[in-house]
A = this chain, B = another copy of it.
Amino acid sequence: MNADAKKTTLRMIPYGIYILTADDGKGGIAAATVNWVTQTAFGPPLVVVAMKADSGAYQIVKGAGTFALNMLGKDQKGLAFTFFKPAVVAEGKISGQAYRIGETGAPILTDAVAAVECRVKTIIGEGDHHVVLGEVVEAHVMKPPSGRPDNAILEMKDLGDNVFYGG
């Protein structure tokens, strides 16, 4: 396989940007920027997120058995970069961001435009990132979109001309 062709082709897949959050109830709170996300079923509503296998956030999601995907607005590029770094919990905030506890125990970022909460159903432990399949059990819309919902959220291409995660 030609490495350049693989990179170019896989980078054709468009991605949104999400802050994945989780709380294992034992002091471990995760908040990490992710983009490898897709819905996978309507009934029940299922989503897949791929998580770096050696990351702290992944360990916390496995311990919690639940997670949230927080959607960002087009003007919230700074938040995406904030959560590329390890999350720091202090003074009731995660890396300076206010949050509340969702139905599943996962943190919901106050400034996100929307969020879904999921319960982990299955994990496929293949490759350097693992496939986490979650059932969507709660959904929150903090800022209703005025047009198409998929035009309202921050995407990978909004982060910069040379910013990619994929390929």
Question: Which residues of B have CB within 8 Å of A140?
Answer: 5, 9
Q: Answer whether residue A90 sits at the interface, using C-beta atoms and an 8 A cutoff.
A: no
Question: Which residues of B have CB within 8 Å of A16?
Answer: 12-14
Question: Which residues of B have CB within 8 Å of A151?
Answer: 157
User: Of A24-32, A58-66, A142-150, which binds chain B?
Assistant: A142-150
User: Which of B39, B126, B153, B155 touches A133 (beta carbons < 8 Å)?
Assistant: B126
Interface range on chain A (Cβ under 8 Å from partner): 35 or more
Q: Answer whether residue A92 sits at the interface, using C-beta atoms and an 8 A cutoff.
A: no
Q: How far is the CB of A98 from chain B (nearest CB, A)?
A: 20
Question: Which residues of B have CB within 8 Å of A164?
Answer: 150
